[in-house]
Structure 1
Amino acid sequence: MFEEKPLSMQNRVKTLASEAQAQNQPYAWFEPLYAQANGNADQVPWAKSAAHPYLQAWLSEHPQPAAHSKALVIGCGLGNDAEALQAHGYQVTGFDVSPTAIAWCQQRFPNSAVDYQVADLFHLDPSWNQAFDLVYECRNIQALPLNLRPQVVGAIAPLVAQTGQLLVVTRIRPDEQECEGPPWPLSPLELAEFEAYGLVETDRATFVEGETVTVQQARILYQYAQG
């Protein structure tokens, strides 16, 4: 499942991310990355030909949701995860900060029922607060610098309905481990920041991937504490 990307692609990502940070626009590098790909998904480091296998496995273990259940896919990229959730029975909204990515989704899935939107995680429609039965976050937090962690968590947590769930897929690292990114894996202390919003971890699956380079991965489910 984990594929080590060519060094040239890693360097391109790091260069784009560094330039964006230097301009104090730490997530402005997503649009040029998608635009420079020129429709070639192989040039998008996280692009897959199907839904993320961790999401597929999770869906296979869970029944279809209740009628009219709403799901939100954060940073939906090329749309595979959003389409999988829609096929499972959710009414799905998928958003990305990159207009090119959203146009690509609409081109790939012209008859899709998914509502694809261009949106900025830090400036979302207030009507989205507590509006989703499932919020799915796959590797977007880790693509943003460490100093933005509290702000990112604070943008994601309020989207979850009181009876809803948050599903997070991410690389993980020990609290004491320093890292250079992107990506910047999440530490236990950073993941625990969701607790400040009332979300508690209810399930976790961990994975070790790679051969020449091993990567710690986790799929974590959060819900609001009841009672």
Structure 2
Amino acid sequence: MSNPDADASRLAAESINKRDPTGWFEQLYTEAAEGRAIVPWDRTAPNALIGSWIRDRAPHRGRALVVGCGYGTDSEFIASLGYDTTAFDISQTAIDTAHARFPESVVQYEVADVLDLPQRWLRAFDVVIESITVQSMPVWVRQNAVAAIASTVAPGGSLLVVSGIREDGVEVEGPPWPLTREEIESFASTALTATRIERVTSENRWRATFMNELGSEMAGD
């Protein structure tokens, strides 16, 4: 039987050695579609840390963006609450599988690279969900990914970041490369402010909320 973590680690190492930090995602999803690998983050139920966070944000309206959506489980849940949901992944195979799993979906699924997002997404979303995508990327591209994700949050909008926890000074062989608190805090920018950073010990996860306070007073009127 295939080992999900080993599959991801093998493909990531091959891709990163070629200085291609994101190419391994399509390789992994392709091998999974062929029955030769398992996607380690594939789930049949929405992420509980996302679910409890977004349920508390009623009324559920506006535009939502899901980063690195994979097969779409979280995206479908968010859309079911009433959000106009866009979800993207760098893997065409992942997006094709999401369409196959949810043929009646109202989610707008797109193929996109977090390191080169469409200009039309700049400050366009009221809710942005980033769960374990950045931690799957090597350190040398991580800040570019963080900046790109932060740039999609509309004035008055919120960003949720979910990531594994890494203690300061601890080296890990990834993927994944869980984030330190400093790396979580780096999602704050000239526009975004951290409003809550939780250490969810039971899940060994960070759950952090950031808000784009530029124009937030107008957005709340």
TM-score (norm 2): 0.90
Q: Could you list the structure 1 runs, at least 4 aligned residues long, displaced by more than 6 angstroms after superposition.
A: none
Residue 190 of structure 2: aligned partner: 197
CA displacement 1:72-123 (0-9 Å, x = unmatched): 0011001011111101110000010000000000001111110001111112
Question: Unpaired segments of 5 or more residues in structure 2?
Answer: none
Residue 57 of structure 2: aligned partner: 62
Decide whether the 8 Å contact of 1:157 with 1:197 is kept in 2.
Answer: no
RMSD: 2.0
Residue 9 of structure 2: aligned partner: 14
Decide whether the 8 Å contact of 1:71 with 1:91 is kept in 2.
Answer: yes
- With over 3 angstroms needed to count, the CA separation of the structure-2 counterparts of 1:7 and 1:186, relative to structure 1, is farther
Decide whether the 8 Å contact of 2:155 with 2:213 is kept in 1.
Answer: no
1:220 aligns with 2:213: no
Letter aligned with residue 108 of structure 1: R
Residue 212 of structure 1: aligned partner: none
Deviation at 1:187, TM superposition (A): 0.9
TM-score (norm 1): 0.88
Residue 43 of structure 2: aligned partner: 48
Which whole-Å CA distance do the structure 2 matches of 1:7 and 1:173 have between them? 26
1:37 aligns with 2:32: yes
Which whole-Å CA distance do the structure 1 matches of 2:194 and 2:2 have between them? 35
Which whole-Å CA distance do the structure 2 matches of 1:82 and 1:181 have between them? 26
Which whole-Å CA distance do the structure 2 matches of 1:119 and 1:74 have between them? 9
1:154 equivalent among 126, 147, 151: 147
1:110 equivalent among 103, 120, 129: 103
CA displacement 1:135-187 (0-9 Å, x = unmatched): 10010000001122211111111100011000111112122222211000111
Q: Percent identity?
A: 37
Deviation at 1:27, TM superposition (A): 0.8
Which whole-Å CA distance do the structure 2 matches of 1:59 and 1:140 have between them? 18
Which whole-Å CA distance do the structure 1 matches of 2:55 and 2:85 have between them? 18
Question: Unpaired segments of 5 or more residues in structure 1?
Answer: 1-5, 210-214
